[in-house]
Amino acid sequence: MNTGNVQLEAVKGDITDQPDITAIVNAANAHLRTGGGVAGAIHRAAGPGLAEEARQFAPIQPGEAVITGAHQLPNRFVIHCLGPVYGVDKPEAKLLADCYRNAIRIAEENRVDSIAFPAISTGAFGFPIDEATDIVAEVMEEVCAQTKYLEKVRFVLFSDKDLEIYREKLNL
């Protein structure tokens, strides 16, 4: 896969524990509040200032992304993406691709050199991991060759199985 100057990597871990990364991506809810899964972990680690800052942008639509500071997280920014609910928000493949495209566009606008993504929509929102990862691979190939500031994209997966799927589909 040709991703220009951007290095892709996949690790097993927790999205809130990526201290060497400039911007982490939140699998957010429309109201940009705490919740389960990734959003719960990010808001707990960031502290209440994150929800206070994010509130001005809510509600966001599926496929949309907004940026805030990272508060008590060890990063500089949080980019909040609302993934599609599988089988509900249509067309779900395009909306999921939009999340990744918009997150990287906003990262570039803020001269972010490194970004970490969780597997958006594949938890509570029910997107099958195989299908979601194919979309991630397509978008990375499409956008990374054109970025100017981005040097590293890290995918942080929560299970060995998800990590394996990413490694296979992204040739990592």
Position among 51, 68, 79, 83 found at the interface with ligand ADP (CB under 6 A): 83
75 binds ligand ADP (CB under 6 A): no
At closest approach, how far in Å is the CB of 124 from ligand ADP? 4
CA angle at 88 for the pair 84 and 93, rounded to the nearest 5°: 45
63 binds ligand ADP (CB under 6 A): no
Cβ(167)–Cβ(8) below 8 Å: no
84 binds ligand ADP (CB under 6 A): no
155 binds ligand ADP (CB under 6 A): no
Query: Quick one: 63 or 83, whose CB is closer to ligand ADP?
Result: 83
Annotate each residue in 94-133 with x if it binds ligand ADP (CB under 6 A) or - if it does not, as one string: ------------------------xxxxxxxx--------
Give the residue from 161, 96, 157 showing the smallest Cα distance to 132: 96
Distance between CA atoms of 6 and 121, rounded to whole angstroms?
A: 24
At closest approach, how far in Å is the CB of 5 from ligand ADP? 26
Cβ(139)–Cβ(155) below 8 Å: no
Cβ(26)–Cβ(68) below 8 Å: no
Query: How many residues bind to ligand ADP according to rule CB under 6 A?
Result: 21
- Range 26-55, binding ligand ADP (CB under 6 A): 27, 36-39, 41
Cβ(10)–Cβ(167) below 8 Å: yes
CA distances from 30 to 35, 83, 84, 134, 146 (A): 11, 9, 10, 24, 29
Tokens coding 60: 């966001």
Q: Name the site residues for ligand ADP (rule: CB under 6 A).
A: 14-16, 27, 36-39, 41, 83, 118-125, 156, 158, 162
